[in-house]
Amino acid sequence: MSEEVANRLNELAVSDPSPVVRLYLASAMQRLPLEQRWPIAEALVAHVEDAEDHNLPLLIWYGVEPLVPHNPERALALASASKLPIVSRFVYRRAAADSEGLKTLLVSLGRTDNVDAQRLILDEITSIVRTRGKLEMPKSWPDVYAKLAKSAEEDIRSKVQFITVKFGDKSIFPALRELVADAKLDAQSRLQALDALLSGNDEELPPLLHKLLDEAAIRGSAIRGLARYSHPKTAKEILSRYAKLAAEERADAVATLASRTEYALELLSAIEAKAVQRTDLSAFTVGQMRRLKDDRLIEKLNEVWGNIRSTPEEKQKLIAEFKGKLTPEALSKSDLPHGREVFAKTCAKCHRLFGEGGQIGPDITGSNRANIDYILTNILDPSAVVGRDYQMTTVITNGGRVVSGLIKEENESAVVLQTVNEVVVVDKSDIDERALTTTSMMPDGQLQQMKLEEARDLIAYLASPSQVPLPGAGPVYDEKTGRVAGALEGESLKILSKTAGNTSVQGMSNFGADRWSDAQVWWTGGKPGGQLVFEVPVKTEGRYEIFAVMTKARDYGIVQLSIDDTPLGKPIDLFNSPDVITTGVVSLGTHELSTGNHSFGVQITGANPNAVKGYMFGLDYLYLARKSEEPTEAAAGK
């Protein structure tokens, strides 16, 4: 571009009042030689009025990005003067990602006394170095650290501690250990210090981690951190507390114990002694232990768990066997809330369904879940077709730890793996063995380890068109369908008897003050003392919390509800004025219900003094939420 044209563009970038002109300049900048971009970029980032624009800051950044490695000092000066926060942040991030740029960025960090600038630069440096292996300490860092370690801002101090550990400075380890051990400090500060020590592979940390197993706020991080170290007491320390751990903590504990041969052997011994439920050991974890390639471990695995390897022919036979058991008739008797509970325990770490769950594997909400052949094939033979994005990498470290997961990032110094319970950064210099497998991260053998009822409920839940509540939880209203999955709709219930009046189905879409699950059964013409009785089917014997949603209006009565002639709480006043609304979800208590048909009674006891004495009643739906039972040895497969 001629010098005359370049000067004219520079003038427009400085003074033209139109954001459209600046948009064209930002776009054109990407096609200019690097040296001609500088004055335009420096002028464009000075327009504070563009800071909240959806497009301009990003377009400007696209033109600035190659300037950062080309001339880091000038790029950082541009970022410091910029009135566009996104551009400043991205310049710092790009500089931190390059070894020469990082050195320049650290010099810039040491020069500024602006706390906001310090925080922004440190945020971007830590986000980059967190996924790096061992880093060479720049000559400027000790002076920068000495200055910022005295900052009055705790988050700034914690970030410089983390960075100096990544640079291999072990001199601050004792001070960081004191912070972690100080129970009077807030959990966040302690966790930040612990994060720094774990990133630095502090060899003296395991005894402290053992003590932290007794502190709820730190326990999860301590359990996961212990996987980094081979220590003779770790397995016993974790297993001695296992019975008191929460579900998430138990999953972390199993993952840590399965990461090393000696730990895994003690875990299997605990399963044999029934101190750990066999069902807490997932098929994925079993596969990871097999990859440790220890004959003693594999022999014990076969005794405790069984051999889950099978040929393609055997898998096809297994698919046919399960299809024969999970017939439409069998699935019709399933407990969907229990199926969701099974999904949460076995699948949700990796898969999302109805907006909930992990993002390691594919989101299965839009998949062909209702097709029994499709779902059984994917569960029982998950490695039949594996997309490139879901091929698993297994790393065995020099210290004997096995880590299996998906590669989230790889750079010149580290491999970053997403496992089922955490993100693990493995320094490349610590890798003894690494293999990319054609097998799926989703393991074989999950369905075979379940009781048939669990498998049935899981498959039925996976085929559900909408979300259902967890066992014992209230019903879930689906905004898309306007219905409540699993509800016993009032208009669909069989009426066994009524003493007077009429019943009909009333659509409720015209009443905009509230929402109903489709229509309601509407009882009119009743009088005090009158009774309406519905038939309520129960598929499976158990303890159920009974929920009801009814209608409230100015001419509705007061009713006493009952199940099998047993009153359900106190009378409920259904008066409301002026709007027609619902009662919301009302819990009617928990009751033992046998398999078969039960009677649900509605008796009119009167009306609110302010009500029009119509004594009406409307039932939107009933919902039976089966309560989870405490696991028994039989249920646990012991």
Domain ranges of the chain: 3-257, 477-626
Alpha-carbon gap, residue 75 to 72, rounded angstroms: 5
Residue 363 predicted with pLDDT over 90: no
Backbone φ and ψ of 545, nearest 5°:
-90, 130
Over residues 259-275, mean pLDDT: 95
Residue 498 predicted with pLDDT over 70: yes
Q: What is the DSSP letter of 575?
A: B
User: For 337-422, where are the E strands, in sequence order?
Assistant: 352-353, 356-357, 391-397, 402-410, 414-418
Structure confidence at residue 107 (pLDDT): 92
Q: Which residues contact 299 (CB under 8 A, 6 or more apart)?
A: none
Confidence of residue 164 (pLDDT cuts 50, 70, 90): very high
Residue 306 predicted with pLDDT over 80: no
Across-strand partners of 432? Answer: none
Is the CATH number of domain 3-257 1.25.10.10?
Answer: yes
| Residue from 257, 243, 256 nearest 198 by CA | 256
Beta carbons within 10 angstroms of residue 86's beta carbon: 17
Distances (CA, A) of 214 to 208, 249, 309: 11, 12, 38
Alpha-carbon gap, residue 186 to 356, rounded angstroms: 30
Residue 636 predicted with pLDDT over 60: no
Alpha-carbon gap, residue 165 to 492, rounded angstroms: 66
Residue 630 predicted with pLDDT over 60: no
Q: Is 1 helix (H, G, I), strand (E, B) or coil?
A: coil
Structure confidence at residue 366 (pLDDT): 75
Q: What is the DSSP letter of 628?
A: P
Alpha-carbon gap, residue 501 to 514, rounded angstroms: 26
Share the mean pLDDT of the chain. 89
Question: Is the distance from CB of 55 to CB of 23 less than 8 angstroms?
Answer: yes
Q: Which residues contact 305 (CB under 8 A, 6 or more apart)?
A: 278, 281, 286
Confidence of residue 383 (pLDDT cuts 50, 70, 90): low
Structure confidence at residue 391 (pLDDT): 76
Residue 539 predicted with pLDDT over 70: yes
pTM above 0.75, yes or no: no
Q: What is the DSSP letter of 328?
A: H
CATH fold, domain 477-626, is Jelly Rolls (2.60.120)
Structure confidence at residue 469 (pLDDT): 78
pLDDT digits (tens, 9 = 90+) for 73-126: 999 999 999 999 999 999 999 999 988 899 999 999 999 999 999 999 999 999
What is the residue-wise DSSP string for 506-534?
EE-TT-TTS--SSEEEEEES--TT-EEEE
Q: Which token pair is 276? A: 């750990």
| Residue from 482, 484, 527 nearest 502 by CA | 527
| Residue from 546, 610, 520 nearest 574 by CA | 610
Residue 368 predicted with pLDDT over 50: yes
Which of 148-157, 210-219, 383-392, 593-602 has the least mean pLDDT?
383-392
Alpha helices in 291-327 (DSSP H): 295-304, 312-325
Beta carbons within 10 angstroms of residue 247's beta carbon: 10
Distances (CA, A) of 238 to 235, 244, 265, 286: 5, 10, 13, 19
Structure confidence at residue 96 (pLDDT): 93
Question: Is the distance from CB of 68 to CB of 75 less than 8 angstroms?
Answer: yes
Structure confidence at residue 311 (pLDDT): 63
Over residues 245-258, mean pLDDT: 92
Residue 202 predicted with pLDDT over 80: yes
| Residue from 447, 450, 408 nearest 426 by CA | 408
Over residues 524-540, mean pLDDT: 95
Structure confidence at residue 529 (pLDDT): 95
125, containing H or E segment? helix 115-129
Alpha-carbon gap, residue 456 to 450, rounded angstroms: 9
Which of 386-395, 403-412, 621-630 has the least mean pLDDT?
386-395
Confidence of residue 633 (pLDDT cuts 50, 70, 90): very low
Confidence of residue 389 (pLDDT cuts 50, 70, 90): low
Q: Is 553 helix (H, G, I), strand (E, B) or coil?
A: strand
Residue in this structure with the two tokens 């730890």, named with its chain if needed: 401
Residue 439 predicted with pLDDT over 70: no
Which of 273-287, 462-476, 563-577 has the least mean pLDDT?
462-476
Which residue type sits at 629? E
Confidence of residue 326 (pLDDT cuts 50, 70, 90): very high
Question: Is the distance from CB of 365 to CB of 464 less than 8 angstroms?
Answer: no
Backbone φ and ψ of 535, nearest 5°:
-95, 130
Over residues 570-594, mean pLDDT: 93
Alpha-carbon gap, residue 563 to 533, rounded angstroms: 9
Structure confidence at residue 312 (pLDDT): 74
Structure confidence at residue 111 (pLDDT): 92
Which of 306-310, 350-354, 419-423, 511-515 has the least mean pLDDT?
306-310
Structure confidence at residue 387 (pLDDT): 58
Q: What is the DSSP letter of 50?
A: G
Structure confidence at residue 629 (pLDDT): 52
Which of 63-67, 102-106, 349-353 has the least mean pLDDT?
349-353
Share of the chain above pLDDT 90, in %: 64
Across-strand partners of 529? Answer: none
